[in-house]
Amino acid sequence: MQVNQGDSISSAVFISPHHDDVCFSLAATALLCGGGHLVNVFTQSDYAVISLPSFADRSEHIRYVSSMRAQEDQMFADACNLTRHDLRLEEPPVLGILPFDLSHIQFEVDHLNAIMIEGIASLHQSQAISKPALYCPIGIGGHRNHVSVLAAVVRALPRLQELYEVFFYEDLHYASDLNFRNAGLQRLSGMLKGRQLERRALVLPPQLFARKMGLVNIYFSQHGGKLRSYDFIPATFRMHEEHEAVWALI
């Protein structure tokens, strides 16, 4: 990941496995942070739910979809005052891998440690603010790219915690399903080998939740306008309010 000269962090670095994950999971948090960096990891994509032009060459299809998704993401980043960094790695289907296939994932984690972690560390070194927030997905839902990003960050935690206050966010829409959410939290606990975590919820007043859903709507290629607000609220037994949630190591 290349860090542009003059880059600085206002308050946060958000890791997004794909172009939409931070918006879906933490759009309100990003708005309230007032600025920072958005690190998009797997940005070469062939997936969209909307009708697309026909291409004779699959590579043209991938370029078209990837560009469309990047344009959507830029609109979100501009609204939240985030500087985008696309690592341009391929999503699993582009490589002929099923999205939820976790076999041989260690090779992906190794690659992320070599490029993603180094880039995130460089972002901190390019400015003087001490301990900005770093938001990493939990991998709820078990998507290969979400899990590999989490594993890379967990492996690098000793180094990253010297630079950042690390938070693990509940991936939406996956976390709106209680079973997916519970399984993802168990995976996180196992990776952290029993280290204690504390859940921190940001309750969203109606006006702020409406702003979040307006940002979610930007990613039309991924939902086609068929939005259900409850897909963007974590499922819990205790908390039914519109909210976003992260977990902090204590």
pTM for the whole thing?
A: 0.93
pLDDT of residue 127 exceeding 70, the answer is no
Domains plus CATH for the chain?
12-249 (3.40.50.10320)
In this structure, what are the phi and psi dihedrals at residue 35, rounded to the nearest 5 degrees? 140, 165
- 126 band by pLDDT with thresholds 50, 70 and 90: low
Strand order across the beta sheet in which 82-90 lies? 82-90, 36-44, 12-16, 133-137, 165-169, 243-249, 197-203
Helix (H) or strand (E) holding 194: none
How many helices (DSSP H) and strands (DSSP E) are in the chain? 8, 7
- What pLDDT, on the 0 to 100 scale, is given for residue 238? 62
pLDDT > 90 fraction of the chain, expressed in percent and rounded: 88
The mean predicted confidence, pLDDT, of the chain is 92
CA atoms of 82 and 32, how far apart (whole Å): 12
**Residue 7 CA neighbour count, 13 Å, CB half:** 23
Q: Per-residue pLDDT tens for 157-213?
A: 999 999 999 999 999 999 999 999 999 999 999 999 989 999 999 999 999 999 999
Token digits of residue 81: 């005052």
